[in-house]
Amino acid sequence: MLETITRKTLWISSGFNLIAAYALAFPQHRLGVLFELPSDTPRLYAYLFSYVVGVFGVSYAWLARQPTISKPLLSVAAAGKIGIFMITAPLTMTGDISIRPTLLASGDLLFGSIWLSWLLQRQH
C-alpha cells in the first residue's frame, strides 16, 4: 500500500514541480506572484533554479513509471523535498518571507516524509 501511495505522490509531485518550474522561470507571471517570488530575480538565477526544479519533476515521473523504484534516487528526492521546507520554515519564523511559501512547502514536507517512510520500510 505504501508503494502505491509513493508512486501516486511521485506523479502529483511531478506535476507540482513542473508548475513551480514555470513560476520560477517567470516570477512576474500570476503563479510567481501567487508563490510570492521576487519579480526582480536575474534571469540567469530564475532559469537555473527553474531548470533544476523541472528536472526533479521529470525524474519523479520517471521514478513513478519504473517497475522498481530506485532507492538512491528516491533518497535524493526525499532530501530535496524535506530540505525545501527546512529552508522556508526558518525564513518565515525570522520574518524574511511570509508564511505562504512555507505553507506551499508543507506539501514538499509531506511528500518527502512519505518517500522517506517508504525507504525506511524497505530497509527491513
Express each pLDDT in 35-77 by its tens digit.
Answer: 899 989 999 999 999 999 999 999 999 999 999 999 999 999 9
Express each pLDDT in 77-120 by its tens digit.
Answer: 999 999 999 999 999 999 999 999 999 999 999 999 999 999 99
Tell me how crowded residue 112 is: count the other CB atoms within 10 A of its CB: 24
Residue 40 class from Cβ within 10 Å (0-12 exposed, 13-18 middle, 19+ buried)? exposed
Q: Where are the domains of the chain?
A: 2-123
pTM of the model: 0.90
